[in-house]
Structure 1
Amino acid sequence: MADELGVVERIWRYPIKSTGGELLRRAEVDARGLVGDRLFAVRDADGKFGSGKNTRRFRRMPGLLQLRSRYLDEAGKPELLDPQGVAVSDPTAYLRCYLGRKDVEIAREETISHFDQLPISVLTTATLEWVRAAVPGVPVDERRFRPNLLLRTPPGTPAFVEDEWFGSTARIGSGLCVEFVRSSERCVMTNEAQQDLPHSPLVLRAVAQAHDARLDALATVVAPGLVQLGDTIALL
């Protein structure tokens, strides 16, 4: 018998990695994840992708979170919006000026994945509400953690309930199935300012102290399908 976890309250897709994303009412999900999610990234001359951290694959590029991206045509390139929400005519030219770097461009994913970790991130309202309580006075919503799905959990659900799902398969809606694997390792990107959320080191500090800087449930896709607002997520 399926064990219902909650219902999908928000669906997020991030067409250009490390920029603000777009809210959707529904999304197709294939083996890679939400179709079009992080399919593009800001790439520099060394082949590294713009991110909130420096690693073998990623280059820290502060300011990207003040921008947003969205698709107007699912088959085309995404649109880039400036901090005021105005679409820019030439995303690469704009980014070179905005970041003060002449070596960056908008690039489509090729052989190297744009994902930090796994394709799907699910965050519960129970965990999000815990974060809000842990940092009173600091504006917090799910955008700080960049999930694909925000799951509305029943009253009384404990924070970090996502940990209980690891190793389990879940059905989302009528056909989509995912396998929960582990949680995301959070970095300084959690603290960075974006749109109306100010910078605050308290967010990452709270999650680090309480939960080893881990938060959400990362999943792989077992059976592709459609996710829609209001869909139930249930463990199988």
Structure 2
Amino acid sequence: MDNKNQIVGKVKEIRRFPVKSILGELLQTVSIDKRGLVGDRLWAIKNMNGKFGSGKTTRRFQQMDGLFNYKARYEDTTPIITMPDGTDYRGDDNAVNEKLSERLGYQVTLAREESISHFDEGPISIITTSALRKVSQELGEAVDPRRFRANLLIDTDSTGCLEDHLVNQLILVGPSVILRVVAPLQRCIMVNNSQEELKQDTRLLRYLVNNHESTFGVWAKVESFGKINIDDKIILV
């Protein structure tokens, strides 16, 4: 895709995840800085070995089962953690560490990002409605965008995985935010996991492995700061 100043689509959803690997919040507007959506994945659940809760185990991350039973949102700059029973705990209250440890069955703390980023790959994740339509059609059932935990869902009239064609391109989102699309996003077992009313679905990751090199969506880094709003146009620059 190399038609400069072409309108790619518009922002349909903005999602921010204050705490890595748990559910987040749906926003109407958000500020963007060099790190990405302000506050996105700024916090994580850390075990006593210094590893952060995730859907997979790596050098830095530890798989923790049931994280999608928890949800986070911000009140000003303080994360508010909602437990599976609906009870809220403030991130600046040590009671949240006690309750998370009790529920998970081992000692953890809610930890703010320090020198090393909590991101798996990059600052801002993007998917499109056209890619969702393609996967939904081939699976024979609508695929909910929440499964991919993307920061931005772009509404587009295009067909297929439009975002794949944006790699190495600059896009203008709204009046001032410029993003450089860097690479496709590798997907793991988390796309299959149940969350809220969505049930476990083992077909999704298998489909991506077999048909799309285990990727879905793209990640981007920030070239120019500003604010993003629902319905902002996205233009190829």
Give the TM-score taking structure 1 as reference length. 0.94
Question: Is 1:79 aligned to residue 84 of structure 2?
Answer: no
Structure 2: gaps (5+ residues): none
Whole-angstrom distance in 2 between the partners of 1:226 and 1:205:
36
**Equivalences for residues 26-37 of structure 1 within 5 A:** 26-37=29-40
Aligned-partner SS, 2:231: coil
Aligned to 2:99: 94
**Would you say how many aligned residue pairs link Structure 1 and Structure 2?**
230
* Corresponding residue SS for 1:91: helix
Q: Letter of the aligned partner of 1:175 in structure 2?
A: S
Once the two structures are TM-superposed, the CA of residue 111 in structure 1 deviates from its matched residue by: 1.0
Shift of 1:143: 1.1
Alpha-carbon shift at residue 46 of structure 1 (Å): 1.4
**For 1:204 and 1:97, how far apart are their aligned partners in 2?**
31
Q: 1:128-207 alignment to 2 at 5 Å? A: 128-137=132-141, 140-154=143-157, 157-207=158-208
Does the 8 Å contact 1:40/1:108 carry over to 2?
yes
The alignment yields a C-alpha RMSD, in angstroms, of 1.3
Deviations 1:107-159 (A, max 9, x none): 0000121000000011001111222223335x6311110100011001xx222
**Identical residues among aligned pairs (%):** 39
Give the direction of change, closer, same or farther, for the CA distance of 1:159–1:86 in structure 2 (3 Å limit). farther
Cα deviation, residue 195, structure 1? 1.1
CA–CA distance in structure 2, aligned partners of residues 69 and 51 of structure 1: 15
The amino acid across from 1:167 in the alignment is N
Alignment partners' CA distance in 1, 2:15 and 2:56: 21
For 1:128 and 1:72, locate their aligned partners in 2 and report how far apart those are by CA, in whole Å. 31
For residue 122 of structure 1, the aligned residue among 123, 126, 129 is 126
Distance in 2, Cα, partners of 1:32 & 1:230: 22
- One-letter code aligned to 1:96: S
Q: Does 1:66 align with 2:90?
A: no
In structure 1, C-alpha distance between the alignment counterparts of 2:69 and 2:204, rounded to whole Å: 18
TM-score by length of 2: 0.93
**1:42 CA displacement:** 0.3
Q: What runs of 5+ residues in structure 1 fail to find an aligned partner?
A: none
C-alpha displacement of 1:84 = 4.5
How far is 1:31 from its partner? 0.2
* Structure 2 residue 4 is matched with structure 1 residue 6: no
What is the letter of the counterpart of residue 66 of structure 1? Answer: N
Partner of 1:40: 43
